Amino acid sequence: MLTLRPILSALRSIALISFTVGTTFLSASAFAEDVTASNPNPAKNVILIIGDGMDDHQITIARNYLKGAAGRLTLDDMPVRSSVAVLTVSEQAPDEYIYVADSACSGTSMSTGQATSRARIATTAKSDIDIETIVEMAHKSGFKTGIVSTSSVTDATPAVFASHIQYRFCENPEKMVTERFSCPQDLKANGGPGSISEQLAVSNVDVIFGGGMENFTPTVEGGSTSVLDSAIANGFTILKTKQDLNNVTTAGKVLGLFADKHLATKLRGEDGRIAEKPEPSLLNSVHWSLGEVDLPEPMTCETNPDAADTPSLLSMSSKAIELLSTDNDKGFFLMIESASIDKQSHARNPCGSIGELDQLDETVAYALKFADQHPGTLILVTADHAQAAQLVPESSMFSGLDIPVYSPGSMVRIITPEGGLMGVNYATNDFFAEEHTGAAVPLYANDVAIGKIDTYISQTDIFDIAKQHLGL
Ligand SMILES: [Zn+2]
């Protein structure tokens, strides 16, 4: 499993000097070393940035569009790169593995260090025991904590860091018992902690930013006031708009809910287009080698007008870092999620995913700058699971054979800013939503982690790495 190799500071310096990365990073690291020398006990911070569904296909598609095929994302210049196994166990037989995760179980691996079954929020498979999260442990040890997401804050990835429930869809008191799912043992009436929003409202998390207001307007179970009122009674200042976010300076707990559901994505397909099915001619239905096929017309990505009033991931994250680091000698743990890389891949909308990855990359750049000035800061960037999108030839490599070869799924042919044509394909099913896939995911880290992370680790090791850095 993980080998956290202790390294001498001299060795670390050599690694920093000899590492072949961009000049910006080298000079910034040298600066960090200087700061360390003048302050031997800096605050210890962990910033864990999760791109939901951000596998290497998603990263490559986004790089091609945003920077060009030979260009580089901020991610590409980070000094540590590892590959992470995504472990999921069976609900019925927790000693058996299954091979494709959801965000609930994969997030739980990172937040608690224990693999669980799909749809579980920081609880064990089958036995349904609550597992303490890194956010709860950090708070108990005196660290400040924060959760930022472009999804509803009750969605699986943010939820696994500060709540415990059998089923991820039990997001508010009205969703605890439905026809399709229920969380009976988590009902307050049965001695449980209530829904995800009710748990977040009474949590000790210092900063919670994202969407999901609709999960805070229902009445708390067994009470007469809303979940939002419960959060206010528990000391949270509530933010609702971009302006609220810009203006907040409070030292107390802050809950920012900037949309009813998930936050709007930065980009969308031209005129709202998503992937479309290739259209074979009638003759092709007679025999696969006959007739011809019309592929979807090429398109560009465009700014999503729905996002005009939506705070960016960067603005939420930079405010969270400001609030968590001000007057704080101990340090903090902050989880930041770019959620809709996944959601837009489910929706076969590659431009949506590209915009979300762009938001993640600019947030990573900000976090790295913060770490340069606060050298006790460990930055980890990873994904929770792989997704459906594939980067494919924009027209078949077999098209020269003069037979109509085309994807059985849906595809987009994106005109890139560098003037190329990029094919993105979705073919996990014919349902209205694509599915996750099971490949290992990438992990990137800043210079603090050099020599401390093996080439191939498990998601549960990410919990150990963060825990060890904070000394929990
Ligand atoms: Zn998903």
Give the model's confidence band at 179: pLDDT under 50 very low, under 70 low, under 90 confident, else very high.
confident
Q: Torsion angle of alpha carbons 108, 320, 365, 460, nearest 10°?
A: -10
In the chain, the amino acid numbered 301 is C
Render the burial of 158-176: b for 16+ CB within 10 Å, e for the rest: bbbbbbbbbbbbbbbbbbb
| Contact indicator for 277, 288 with CB cutoff of 8 Å | no
Report d(CA 113, CA 462) in Å as an integer: 7
Distance 349 CA to ligand 1 centre (A): 13
**Tokens 């979300």 sit at which residue?**
356
Report d(CA 381, CA 322) in Å as an integer: 19
* Helix pair 23-38, 350-373: axis angle to 10 deg: 40
Distance 386 CA to ligand 1 centre (A): 9
Distance 127 CA to ligand 1 centre (A): 25
> Quick one: average pLDDT of 154-165?
98
Render the burial of 267-281: b for 16+ CB within 10 Å, e for the rest: bbbeeebbbbebebe
User: 470 φ, ψ to 5°?
Assistant: -85, -10
Q: Which one from 82, 103, 151, 312 is the annotated catalytic residue?
A: 103
Report d(CA 11, CA 206) in Å as an integer: 37
Cβ count near 443 (within 10 Å)? 23
CA separation, residue 185 to residues 89, 190, 191, 194 (Å): 21, 6, 7, 9
48-72 residue pLDDT tens: 999 999 999 999 999 999 999 999 9
| Contact indicator for 405, 374 with CB cutoff of 8 Å | no
Q: Residue 449: its pLDDT value, please?
A: 97
Q: Which domains does the chain have, with CATH numbers?
A: 46-266+304-389+443-470 (3.40.720.10), 278-300+392-433 (no CATH)
Q: Residue 277: its pLDDT value, please?
A: 97
Distance 109 CA to ligand 1 centre (A): 16
> Quick one: average pLDDT of 295-300?
97
Among this protein's residues, is 103 annotated catalytic?
yes
Distance 53 CA to ligand 1 centre (A): 7
Distance 208 CA to ligand 1 centre (A): 21
Report d(CA 204, CA 212) in Å as an integer: 19
> Residue 30 pLDDT > 70, yes or no?
no
Query: CA 100, 105, 109: angle at the middle one, nearest 5?
Result: 110
CA separation, residue 65 to residues 118, 158, 196, 415, 424 (Å): 33, 28, 37, 8, 12
Output the six-digit token pair for 12: 């670390």
Report d(CA 204, CA 140) in Å as an integer: 9
> Residue 28 pLDDT > 80, yes or no?
no
Distance 283 CA to ligand 1 centre (A): 37
Lowest mean pLDDT among 1-15, 194-208, 218-232, 383-397: 1-15
User: 441 φ, ψ to 5°?
Assistant: -115, 160
Report d(CA 48, CA 147) in Å as an integer: 10
Q: Residue 37: its pLDDT value, please?
A: 52
Report d(CA 102, CA 105) in Å as an integer: 6
Q: Residue 224: its pLDDT value, please?
A: 96
Give the model's confidence band at 250: pLDDT under 50 very low, under 70 low, under 90 confident, else very high.
confident
Cβ count near 440 (within 10 Å)? 19
Lowest mean pLDDT among 287-291, 392-396, 398-402: 398-402
Distance 248 CA to ligand 1 centre (A): 32
> Quick one: average pLDDT of 132-143?
98
Dihedral (CA of 336, 341, 346, 351) sign:
positive
| Contact indicator for 163, 182 with CB cutoff of 8 Å | no
Q: Residue 42: its pLDDT value, please?
A: 83
Closest CA to 464 of 110, 120, 44, 129: 110
Lowest mean pLDDT among 21-35, 61-75, 184-198, 302-316: 21-35
pLDDT over 90, % of the chain: 89
320-350 residue pLDDT tens: 999 999 999 999 999 999 999 999 999 999 9
